[in-house]
Amino acid sequence: MAIEQALEARKWAGLDVCEAPLGTKAQIARVHDPAHIDAIESFCASGGGMIDMDTVVSEGSWAATLRATGAACEAVERLLGGATNSAFCALRPPGHHAERDRAMGFCLFNTIAVAAEHAIANGGAERVLILDWDVHHGNGTEAIFKASDRVLYSSIHEWPLYPGTGAADYVGEGAGEGFTINMPVTAGSGNEEFLALIQHVVAPIAHSYQPDLLAISAGFDAHRADPLASCSVEADGYGRMAAAIRRLGEELKAPILVCLEGGYELTALAESVVATLDGLGSHTDPGRTDPGLVARHVERARRHWPLI
């Protein structure tokens, strides 16, 4: 509601606003065990309750999570069909903590993972790059794609912090070795550190990887006002990050999907979303950052991506 009010105040900033369609079990089953899907449906139908200390569902949660996955899949089809260059999906519940057979961390199904697999299965994409800038590591997304080279997962997250995953030296396994890029940052990290990681690690890797879709797990809980973490990104920082991704998409000729993840201070959330949309839709220069801020991450990434 806070996001809607902020966008309404700006007359939706020229956005094409669409109602999210219902996703399907078949779409969700590309990344989740059917038994998990059925369990969530049944639990919601029975009235819901607590799955864990963080994750609570109601009877309406089933429809909400179908809308979330449906929105992301519909956006993928429009993006890869050439209808638009970017799409923002304002989704609840979020998704990046959900594993193949487990709901956790406010997440029931992993929306960004469903979208990535939909892009490959139905959209004709060969490769998808996911950038997760939520302050919490997306353990579910990492686990789902840890052995895949068709989806590259990169994450900027505070460390140490919930859920305790996302170590810098974990790079995936099997065919997916090198296709997980974890970039943990310390408490207090802000605009410059986050943007530097995009400009000096993610962007060079993307140029080498050549994805057909850039997918952003956009949590806004690294904002300095957010109560659940200790980073210090500001709304204009998210705008600069989005502008850097917009520029990357133009260079790669790859469309951009943005799916909402965390964000728990409503004013900061709304301002950050507005700034992100401005960054995606304008030709604002994000500015350059000092590569020395992220030198250790650059050196680590070069073990698998020597051209960056």
Tally of domains in the chain: 1
Examine residue 306 and state whether it is found in any structural domain, yes or no: no
Q: What average pLDDT score do residues 56-67 get?
A: 98
Domain that holds residue 216: 2-301
Q: Provide the pLDDT for residue 307.
A: 75
Q: What is the pLDDT of residues 83-113, one digit of tens each?
A: 999 999 999 999 999 999 999 999 999 999 9
pLDDT over 90 (residue 191)? yes
pTM of the model: 0.98
Instruction: Write the DSSP symbol of residue 104.
Output: B
Q: How far apart are CA 193 and CA 185, in angstroms?
A: 8
Domain assignment of residue 283, yes or no:
yes
Q: Read off the pLDDT of residues 233-285 as tens digits, 9 standing for 90 and up.
A: 999 999 999 999 999 999 999 999 999 999 999 999 999 999 999 999 988 89
| Inter-helix orientation angle 34-45/61-80, to 10° | 130
Please tell me what DSSP assigns to residue 202: I
Distance CA 151, CA 282 (A): 28
* 97 flagged as catalytic: yes
Q: What is the CATH number of the domain that holds 179?
A: 3.40.800.20
User: Does residue 308 lie within any of the structural domains?
Assistant: no
Instruction: Give the per-residue pLDDT at 106.
Output: 98
- What integer pLDDT is reported at residue 11 of this predicted model? 83
**Residue 288 in domain:** yes
Task: Name the pLDDT band for 13 (thresholds 50, 70, 90).
Answer: confident
Kindly name the residue from 32, 36, 96, 97 that is annotated as catalytic: 97
Alpha helices (runs of H) in the chain, residue ranges in sequence order: 2-9, 25-28, 34-45, 61-80, 111-121, 139-145, 191-197, 203-209, 235-252, 266-281, 295-301
Average pLDDT over residues 197-222: 98
Distance (Å, whole) CA 208 – CA 151 = 14
Quick one: pLDDT band at residue 173, thresholds 50, 70, 90?
very high
According to the model, what pLDDT value does residue 189 have?
Answer: 98
DSSP assignment of 54-97 equals: S-EE-TTHHHHHHHHHHHHHHHHHHHHTTS-SEEEE--SS--TT
d(CA 114, CA 94): 12
Q: For residue range 275-285, list pLDDT tens digits in order.
A: 999 999 988 89
